[in-house]
Amino acid sequence: MTQYAFYFDNSRCTGCKTCELACKDYKDLDQNTAYRKVFDYEGGSWEDKGDGTYETTAFVYHVSMSCNHCDDPACTKVCPTAAMHKDPETGLVSVDADKCIGCGYCHMACPYNAPKVDRVLGHSVKCDGCAERVAAGKNPICVDSCPLRALDFGTVEEMSAKGERANIAPLPESSYTHPNLYIKPCDEARPAGSADGSVINVKEVM
Amino acid sequence: MPDMSLNRRTFIKASGALAALVAAGGGLAQTSNEFVAHAAEEAAEETIAWSQCNVNCGGNCIFQWHSKDGKIQYMETDNIGDADFQARACLRGRSMRKWINHPDRLLYPMKRVGKRGEGKFERISWDEAIQTIHDKLEHIYGTYGPESVFINYATGMYSTTGRNPSKRLLGLLGGFVNQGADYSTHMLQVVMPYMFGSDKKKGSVFSPYDNVNASSFSEAEAHSDLVVLFGNSPAETRMGGANATWDFARVREAVTGRGGKIVNIDYRLNETSSGHVNEWLPIRTGTDAALASALVHEFIVDGKTDEAFLREYTVGWDEDTMPESAKGKNLSYKAYIMGEGEDKTEKTPEWAAQITQIPADKIRELARDLENAQAPFVAQGWGSQRHTNGEQTTRAFCMIPIALGKIGLPGTNTGQREAEPPTYLVSQLPFKNPIKTTLPVYEFVNAIDHGHEMTATNAGITGADKLGSDIKCLWNYAGNCLTNQHGDINYTHDILADESKCEFILVWDTVMTDSAKYADILLPDAMRSEQLNMQTQGYSEYYTGVTVGGPAQQAPGECRSSYDVCADIADSFGLKDAFTEGRTQEEWIQYLYEQGMAKDKDMPSWEQIKAQGVYKRKCEPAIGLKDFRDDPKGKPLGTPSGKIEIYSETLANLNDTWELEKDEKIFALPEFDPGFQGYGSVTDEYPLYCSGFHHKSRTHSSFGFIEELQQAARQQVWINPADATPRHIENGDMCSVKSPAGEIRIEARVTNRIIPGTIGIPQGAWHDADMNGDKVDHGGCINTLTTYKPTPLAKGNGPSDSIIAQIAKA
């Protein structure tokens, strides 16, 4: 088996969301569904110096994330029909729409909020790593879209050589599901579980 | 992640597992695999069509459309060759299929049946549309002459045959009033020539759009050790994969990699410094010139100014370099900085701290960094000059490298925005305009209202002493600058709605913009991906190239290319042959390509480019004003003195001779001036400063109706918790923002990424108000809040980022 993985250069990401929109175009998703999302994580405060001037500890960084095709996926464990499954050849996690009953357990279980139930289709939907593109020797559509060259995709051996396993806020600690997402953190990156900041663009990543 | 757990709870509450099971019943009948369309075995049926994004971010990023059965399926972008040299489309470009296939596309010619601005139209035939346009033009040219016809500022379409068919047609019919300057760099491009040259016969001339007056980011990447940005956020303005955002990522990595530093001065922690927040120096909007003055003060006090350079290359630095007319009056820049000038105020860091909100020690720290840098690269964006004091601010930035003698040298910049590419391989459809009269674009509303009173000295008319007529015909192709992108929508509405003033408004677009609602005749345009399209690389990317291709699918309804329509209008005047010269649009594109080939031996043949779609090559780094630096006598600037005119005698004379309002002044020096609705102008009623910014979800107003973009990047006013908390405004609350000019509704983004006392609104959102009712704009368009007041010299759109406002929960 070849386990595939994503790489994300957090120091380069400008939060532009090209990855998200490229995916929406390719997968023909509307405004209510995104397989890749960009979280704006920010915090800090301001100090009024009392003389009309200010200093700040404000910070912000972005995390672009799709499904992380985990080693130990929470979604497949809770799926009552085995519709949510991990491909034995590639390690990519996807939904078998014929088997899926749309119960939403995967959505509730995933700590990354990756799967969701499309009420119209009646089944779970999520990033499948552009499996058909990968099979044709291409990258997932999001990876080749990034204007900052902040995304990459390849075997877990290749990607883990470029970054650390995803352990920055607002993501959960990687020990839960062992995500196949490797990150080069920016200088401001807070560790997973940090309470320094919060996701401010909640309505954009629902 | 707190938001995710909330999301999960919401799901359970809303549906529950049982409800989901029920819903699944319908789902099973749906297509079982949504990805079948892209399956490898079907790939052979797909066709590829190359095209481009042609909106006005300057990107011209490359589209690779995958079509099947005549219908676009999805987009890949430039994936040719070196991954670091690909013109990858940004999020907006990637949503272009949604635009092309949008249900709101205009499909038929229409005539207005309601009041102007109401948006009520009735379908007509192309024959009736062309006859009406013919009759209106015949009447207006016959009654008022060509100086009553204006092609309004419109930048929605940068393509070889995009904007110029209109100009070619109206040129043949007698001409039209020319556009002076533009909404991007109005203040900058009018004032800078006084400092850096305007006379080609004498020497180098200024342009904001070249690599002569500014250095490229690639030069900073190669040689700079300190990059200082003022109001310049390529990550939000120039977002494509071959645009400045990518160039800047490499600048950062190179400069910091060799121990250098980046400083990003803005009222917002903009996306360029996301993840690099130590770069951010927050400043009150509209006060950059105060900071620049204090920096120069420190250079003087620290003995770090390059006096030999200033003597040889500049006019007006100190008493010794003043022109005769201004000697002995303490009018030099140094006198201004050191408190010996008219205001008797020394421009110390403490003075600037009050104005800019930046602590004095931070100003001193930046001054030290600049003094110690071997190759400081100072680059302003265009937002800072888009203020009522823009004519001063834009020049003040240049004083930083000038005072240090750090221009024209490796790794430095002139204070201008990063350079634009030197070469454009193919030119636009040619046109000739017999009229020389030129109107500052932002003045078009005044020109409709009282154009006959407008002169060179009261309205900045050039090419003639006066305008000579009111504007009676507005011709608007692919632009939303009648209202949305112009300013003071409520006032502008009143002028446009009066049909006795402007008698005929033609609008040409793909969807119903706010400007389109003012059309008398509204024409449906074909998208460029629905035609053969050709264009060079854009201006916000530093390479050279050309893209040829399409159509990727056919245009819907009765949409036509504007070239064909203009040819029909020309035909109605018996001028078809003069318009077409016997060529179709496709033949013109080939002709213009081959003209480009004749000048550039490396371009592929027409047959080759048709097959490969894209041709690109890299540009050499450029150092702004290098020739002048190397040889100031042999290669002078095109200023009266041949030098950099810090003090401009010409501007001083304009201040004495132009008709100015009481609160207006044309400054000979790049002094700090608060400006109209600038620093110090807030009141109890409007206690906050308000500024616009470019937002990722739109290029100006282009793409503003795409639901996927609206959701991915919401239209929100940025407000600091220090301003939000006392008003009980929480993140996500719907708010009312009021200015002296109008009121909008907009969602709040309560964030530490903006300085206290200033709110920031993404410009370009689509105006949405009942203009016969309360005029409250539910679309959150910033130009509902801007006041119409052209700037003193440029007569430009300075108020677009100079606003005073109040905000409350709606």
Least confident of A185-189, B24-28, B275-279, B790-794: B24-28
pLDDT at position B44 is 52
Q: Which residue has the tokens 């003069």?
A: B578
Report, at the CATH architecture level, how domain B688-809 is classified.
Beta Barrel (2.40)
pLDDT digits (tens, 9 = 90+) for B429-470: 999 999 999 999 999 999 999 999 999 999 999 999 999 999
Please tell me the distance in Å from A117's CA to the nearest CA on chain B: 8
**A41 and chain B in contact, CB less than 8 A:** no
ipTM of this complex: 0.98
pLDDT at position B45 is 85
Please tell me the distance in Å from A127's CA to the nearest CA on chain B: 11
Mean pLDDT computed over A72-91: 98
**For residue B368, what are the CA distances in angstroms to B284, B374, B404?**
21, 12, 12
pLDDT band at B387 (very low <50, low <70, confident <90, very high): very high
B window 741-770, beta carbon within 8 A of A: 749, 751-753, 755-756
pLDDT at position B123 is 98
pLDDT digits (tens, 9 = 90+) for B554-600: 999 999 999 999 999 999 999 999 999 999 999 999 999 999 999 99
Residues of A in contact with B714 (CB under 8 A): 201, 203-204
Mean pLDDT computed over B333-348: 98
Please tell me the distance in Å from A194's CA to the nearest CA on chain B: 10
Phi, psi of B489 (to 5 degrees): -60, -40
In this predicted structure, the answer to whether residue B333 has a pLDDT above a threshold of 80 is yes
**Rounded Cα distance, B445 and B439, in Å:** 11
Residues of B in contact with A43 (CB under 8 A): 752
Residues of A in contact with B713 (CB under 8 A): 17, 204
pLDDT digits (tens, 9 = 90+) for A92-142: 999 999 999 999 999 999 999 999 999 999 999 999 999 999 999 999 999
Question: Quick one: closest CA in B to A49, which residue?
Answer: B359
**Rounded Cα distance, B214 and B203, in Å:** 16
| Closest CB to A14 among B245, B354, B359 | B245
**Rounded Cα distance, B159 and B156, in Å:** 10
Query: Which H or E run includes B296?
Result: helix B288-301
CATH number of A4-44+60-204: 3.30.70.20
Instruction: Provide the 10 A C-beta neighbour count for residue A9.
Output: 22
Mean pLDDT computed over B782-808: 98
pLDDT at position B34 is 40
**Rounded Cα distance, B758 and B749, in Å:** 13
- Whether A49 sits inside 8 A of B359 (CB atoms) is yes
**Rounded Cα distance, B445 and B518, in Å:** 13
**DSSP symbol at B525:** B
**Rounded Cα distance, B350 and B356, in Å:** 10
pLDDT digits (tens, 9 = 90+) for B656-683: 999 999 999 999 999 999 999 999 999 9
B window 344-383, beta carbon within 8 A of A: 353-354, 356-360, 362
- Whether A16 sits inside 8 A of B4 (CB atoms) is no
| Closest CB to B2 among A123, A135, A198 | A198
**Rounded Cα distance, B542 and B87, in Å:** 11
Question: Quick one: closest CA in A to B731, which residue?
Answer: A200
In this predicted structure, the answer to whether residue B5 has a pLDDT above a threshold of 80 is no
SS3 sequence of B607-618: HHHHHHCEEEEE
Could you tell me the two tokens for B189?
A: 């491009």
Angle, helices B126-144/B562-572, rounded to nearest 10 degrees:
60
pLDDT at position B26 is 32
**Rounded Cα distance, B168 and B592, in Å:** 15
Residues of B in contact with A206 (CB under 8 A): 7
Q: Where are the beta strands (DSSP E) in chain A?
A: 4-9, 37-43, 46-48, 54-56, 59-65, 84-86, 93-95, 116-118, 123-125, 151-155, 164-165, 181-184, 197-199
Instruction: Provide the 10 A C-beta neighbour count for residue B453.
Output: 13
What is B110-184+424-527+559-583's CATH topology? Rossmann fold (3.40.50)
**Rounded Cα distance, B176 and B170, in Å:** 7
In sequence order, the 6+-apart residues with CB closer than 8 A to the CB of B587 are none
A window 130-189, beta carbon within 8 A of B: 131-133, 135-136, 141, 144-149, 170-172, 186-189
**A206 and chain B in contact, CB less than 8 A:** yes
- Whether A132 sits inside 8 A of B39 (CB atoms) is yes
pLDDT, mean over chain A = 97
Closest by CA to B166, choosing from B421, B474, B426, B456, is B474
Domain boundaries, given as residue ranges, for chain A: 4-44+60-204
| Closest CB to A204 among B20, B360, B713 | B713
Domain boundaries, given as residue ranges, for chain B: 1-30, 110-184+424-527+559-583, 195-421+632-657, 688-809
Sign of the four-CA dihedral B564, B569, B572, B574? negative
**A85 and chain B in contact, CB less than 8 A:** no
pLDDT digits (tens, 9 = 90+) for A6-31: 999 999 999 999 999 999 999 999 99
| Closest CB to B752 among A42, A121, A135 | A42
pLDDT at position A153 is 98
In this predicted structure, the answer to whether residue B381 has a pLDDT above a threshold of 50 is yes
**B36 and chain A in contact, CB less than 8 A:** no
Q: Which residues pair with B525 in a beta bridge?
A: B560
Please report how many Cα atoms fall inside a 13 Å half-sphere around the Cα of residue B428, on the Cβ side: 15
- Whether B732 sits inside 8 A of A25 (CB atoms) is no
Q: Does the domain spanning B195-421+632-657 belong to CATH 3.40.225.10?
A: no
| Closest CB to B20 among A22, A102, A144 | A102
Residues of B in contact with A111 (CB under 8 A): 1, 4
Could you tell me the two tokens for B109?
A: 């010619």
How do beta strands B280-282 and B261-266 pair?
A: parallel
Closest by CA to A96, choosing from A84, A109, A81, is A84
**B255 and chain A in contact, CB less than 8 A:** no
Give percent of chain B above pLDDT 90. Answer: 94
pLDDT band at B373 (very low <50, low <70, confident <90, very high): very high
**A46 and chain B in contact, CB less than 8 A:** yes
**Rounded Cα distance, B781 and B485, in Å:** 9
**B14 and chain A in contact, CB less than 8 A:** no
Could you tell me the two tokens for B42?
A: 């079907």
- Whether B91 sits inside 8 A of A21 (CB atoms) is yes
pLDDT at position A206 is 83
In this predicted structure, the answer to whether residue B706 has a pLDDT above a threshold of 80 is yes
**Rounded Cα distance, A135 and B316, in Å:** 67
How buried is B681 (Cβ within 10 angstroms: 0-12 exposed, 13-18 middle, 19+ buried)?
middle
**A101 and chain B in contact, CB less than 8 A:** yes
pLDDT at position B339 is 98
In this predicted structure, the answer to whether residue B2 has a pLDDT above a threshold of 70 is no
Dihedral of CA atoms B375, B381, B384, B386 in degrees, nearest 10, equals 150
In this predicted structure, the answer to whether residue A47 has a pLDDT above a threshold of 50 is yes
In this predicted structure, the answer to whether residue B216 has a pLDDT above a threshold of 80 is yes
Interface test with A, best of B34, B238, B733 (most A CBs within 10 A): B34
Interface test with A, best of B236, B277, B696, B719 (most A CBs within 10 A): B277
Mean pLDDT computed over A145-173: 98
In sequence order, the 6+-apart residues with CB closer than 8 A to the CB of B653 are none
pLDDT at position B21 is 28
**Rounded Cα distance, B109 and B122, in Å:** 8
- Whether A58 sits inside 8 A of B714 (CB atoms) is no
Residues of B in contact with A59 (CB under 8 A): 277, 752
pLDDT at position B40 is 45
In this predicted structure, the answer to whether residue B156 has a pLDDT above a threshold of 90 is yes
Please tell me the distance in Å from B623's CA to the nearest CA on chain A: 25
| Closest CB to B752 among A10, A56, A121 | A56
Interface test with A, best of B540, B693, B708, B754 (most A CBs within 10 A): B708
**Rounded Cα distance, B810 and B735, in Å:** 4
**A194 and chain B in contact, CB less than 8 A:** no
**For residue B765, what are the CA distances in angstroms to A122, B209, B514, B525, B737?**
34, 26, 10, 21, 14
